[in-house]
């Protein structure tokens, strides 16, 4: 299930990149949210659950951070090599390690895990290697946007963990996140305008983005609920490999040795951070189940 979820997320990235040629980022987010709302509403009815919640404020802040990260990530996918955009977003595990270290320092903890500091430094070394080619290709701005998407994703994942601990079911979290996508996408169209659907290709790509993302979310949630956390975290990084293959075959993207080395370092740092966090706080295992 995790391998299939990673493949579907990478395939979603392909559809986002293709759709970016026709639609603004906000429009893609809007239709992705609309598809998610409809699917989660149907899923809730099928499960006999309810979409009512007593944690509206928590859902609001989770949706705000999650949708912001999603918009930035989709923008990066549309303007960077697919594997590069995927990798920068997957920096979220390293960002969470940085948040943990920063929190320990601010609280005056006597003991800061040196291994977490090492994973952080390793991850940012990978970022430096990835961003170097983007500077040479005048894409630094797009690279920084992709990096920021990973940082904000980390805060969204922490909020998802808090919602899970509060007893919110997965479909309800995804439903309100999708509602946030509809709201954000609708607001951005006031500035960018609405793109008319002149061919069937555009609507088909938008529908594919929503379907692939939602199905991948459910598969990933199920995988984390039934499998080993570290194994799932490791398999999740297959999404970068799938994106790499898609980029080379479909978009004729040229990946330099520097970018490839950076991807390897970020994957290693992310796995290291996931391992250390899973040992320290097993309850955080759900943090990666709602990506995209």
Structure tokens at 141: 């701005």
Q: What pLDDT does 290 receive?
A: 42
Torsion angle defined by CA atoms of residues 177, 179, 181 and 185, in that order, rounded to the nearest 10 degrees: -170
Number of domains in the chain: 1
CB-CB contact of 290 with 225 (8 Å):
no
Distance CA 28, CA 42 (A): 21
Q: What pLDDT does 136 receive?
A: 61
CB-CB contact of 195 with 22 (8 Å):
yes
Per residue in 208-242, pLDDT (tens digit) is 999 999 888 888 777 766 666 666 667 778 888 89
Structure tokens at 43: 């899923």
Pick the closest to residue 64 from 196, 164, 159, 168 (CA basis).
Answer: 159
Q: What pLDDT does 286 receive?
A: 41
Distance CA 44, CA 172 (A): 8
Distance CA 138, CA 38 (A): 40
What's the pTM value of the predicted model, to 2 decimals? 0.84
Residue range(s) defining the domain that contains residue 205: 2-288
Helix (H, G, I), strand (E, B) or coil at 139: coil
Given a cut of 70, the residues of the chain with pLDDT beneath it are 104, 108-113, 133-137, 224-233, 277-292
């Amino acid at each position: 299930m995790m391998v299939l979820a990673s493949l579907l997320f990478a395939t979603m990235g392909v559809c986002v990149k293709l759709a970016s040629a026709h639609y603004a980022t906000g429009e893609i987010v809007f239709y992705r949210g609309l598809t998610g709302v409809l699917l989660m509403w149907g899923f809730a009815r099928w499960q006999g659950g309810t979409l009512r919640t007593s944690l509206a404020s928590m859902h609001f802040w989770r949706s705000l951070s999650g949708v912001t990260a999603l918009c930035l990530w989709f923008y990066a996918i549309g303007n960077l090599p697919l594997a590069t955009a995927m990798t920068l977003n997957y920096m979220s595990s390293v960002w969470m390690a940085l948040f943990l270290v920063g929190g320990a320092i601010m609280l005056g903890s006597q003991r800061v895990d040196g291994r977490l500091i090492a994973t952080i430094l390793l991850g940012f070394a990978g970022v430096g290697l990835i961003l170097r080619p983007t500077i040479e290709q005048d894409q630094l701005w797009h690279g920084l946007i992709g990096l920021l998407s990973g940082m904000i994703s980390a805060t969204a994942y922490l909020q998802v963990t808090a919602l899970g601990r509060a007893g919110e079911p997965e479909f309800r979290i995804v439903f309100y996140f999708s509602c946030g996508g509809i709201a954000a996408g609708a607001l951005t169209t006031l500035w960018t305008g609405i793109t008319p659907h002149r061919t069937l290709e555009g609507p088909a790509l938008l529908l594919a983005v929503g379907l692939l993302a939602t199905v991948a979310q459910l598969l990933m949630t199920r995988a984390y609920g039934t499998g080993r956390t570290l194994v799932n975290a490791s398999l999740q990084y297959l999404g970068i490999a799938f994106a790499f293959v898609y980029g080379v075959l479909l978009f004729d993207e040229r990946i330099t040795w520097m970018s490839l080395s950076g991807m390897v370092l970020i994957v290693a740092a992310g796995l290291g951070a996931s391992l250390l966090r899973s040992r320290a706080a097993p309850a955080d295992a759900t943090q990666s189940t709602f990506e995209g």
